[in-house]
Amino acid sequence: MTKINVVILAAGQGKRMNSCLPKVLHKVGNKPMLEHVISTALSLNPEKLIIVYGHGGDSVKSSINESFLKNNFIWVFQDKQLGTGHALKCALPHVDNDGATLVLYGDVPLISGGTLRHMQELYDGGVVMLTAQLNDPSGYGRVVRDEGFQIKCIVEEKDATQSEKFINEVNTGFYILPNEHLGKWLNSLENNNSQSEYYLTDIIAKAYKQNIEIRYYTAEHNYEIMGVNNKLQLEYLERIYQCKLAEALLEGGATLLDKSRIDIRGKITCGMDCIIDVNCVFEGMVSLGDNVTIGAGCVLKNVVIGDDVTIRPYSIIEDAKIGPNSQIGPFARLRPGTDLIGGAHIGNFVEIKNSIIGQNSKVNHLTYIGDCTMGSGVNVGAGSVTCNYDGKNKFRTVIEDNVFIGSGTMMVAPVTIRPGSVIGAGSTITKTTEANELTVSRARQVTVKGWLSRRNKD
């Protein structure tokens, strides 16, 4: 296969985005558009990957270099945006003398590797371009053919005649160009057009005049060639992207109650017979075992969930492990470092952080468990708290097996609740308890006579 360089044009300012963020860093599926394009380009194993950047240059480079830590990308700064032809010319000093150059765009995020590989297969030393057939070609350059149906040029809409505007075959801007001719073509571009820009599209007419073969591939899906110029277009591509991911889950056997109401902002894998209700958000890496049910409105980020787990609606789980046969929620929050061994019941308005919850333990109501190691068979009553922070340092609470914690108990860490302990409701525990005994720690209840009447007189 011919050696290929990839040049990604990513210098546009994106004024219509009405944002301080460089256009190519706006996200689809929680990933910058430029990152999508780079990932697709890397799947082709190019000899070189050259990124032409401009507006917001430092932030673009730092964001991408952070996502692709080990890379040998070539960054080329385009000081003035004088058109796509000028942008590619900026990259020319870094392009190999032989082989071919594939031109991609940092604001066209859904171009697929499959489409680009089809273009590669067509390359035979000439030009390969990607075209599309649109019912409404407004805004796109038209593909003009000669009497023999050979492509002879591309006419931008602002320069097109009335008859040319009726052409439905459009230029997408994606090309594979022979490096041996590329320099000559770029250096001969002129800007005598309505935009006073150097159009990369003019290369097609130059190739035609030199009798260089111009092959084409038609995009299977029109969304692949759609660029983003405003937030409306960004949201449109986001929905298409999410629908594609949802359909992949459905094809893999997951049940989605509404594929249009799911957001996948990372990667999710599902075992057999998983059910996902509406308006759930998945971020980072999420792994679901078999027979997992996720209720409406849940948010999961970097979570591993075992088999036969039920997560009831509106629960938030981040950087956590959920063992098999556990039940979570509704309205539960499991923060980073939570590890449920299995069979756990974590109920409504319970928050857990940096804690291990043992087999078949229950924390069902209005409770905070932080920096805790909890054994098996524990029951924690409503309104209980592991008081893990003294204003300066964090301390750990140890709750051993088969402990019963009465409602409203404050456990002031560092403290250990020994096996089989029963803690009376409303207790404040500051010392290690005795195993298999009842521990109660409360102030004596008193009535202050006359206090209300004296207060009301003040």
Q: Which residues participate in catalysis according to the annotation?
A: 365
- For tokens 């849940």, the residue is 298
- CB environment 298-310: b (16+ within 10 A), e (fewer): bbbbbbbbbbbbb
Bridge partners (DSSP) of residue 4 are 100
Task: Please give the backbone phi and psi of residue 312, each rounded to the nearest 5 degrees, phi first.
Answer: -80, 170
Residue 50's nearest CA partner among 11, 91, 89 is: 91
Rounded-to-integer distance, Cα 43 and Cα 50, Å: 15
Token couple for 298: 């849940």
Q: What is the distance between the alpha carbons of residues 427 and 236, in angstroms, rounded to a whole number?
A: 56
Reference 322, options 374, 286, 272, 364; nearest CA is 286
CB 215 within 8 A of CB 128: yes
| Cβ neighbours of 401 (radius 10 Å) | 17
Cβ atoms of residues 401 and 429 within 8 Å: no
Angle ∠(113,114,120) on CA atoms, nearest 5:
90
Q: What Å distances lie between residue 10 and 22, 87, 208, CA to CA?
A: 9, 9, 28
Contact assessment for residue 181 and residue 210, using Cβ atoms and an 8 Å cutoff? yes
Residue 283 bridge partners (DSSP):
265, 301
Buried b (16+ CB within 10 A) or exposed e, 126-148: bbbbbbbeeeebeebbbbbeeee
> Rounded to an integer, what distance in angstroms lies between the CA atom of residue 225 and that of residue 105?
10
Region label for 207, one of left (φ > 0), alpha (ψ between -120 and 50) or beta (otherwise): alpha
Largest CA distance in the chain: 107
Sequential DSSP letters for 86-122: HHHHHHGGGS-SSSEEEEEETT-TT--HHHHHHHHHH
CA contacts within 13 A on the Cβ side of 314: 6
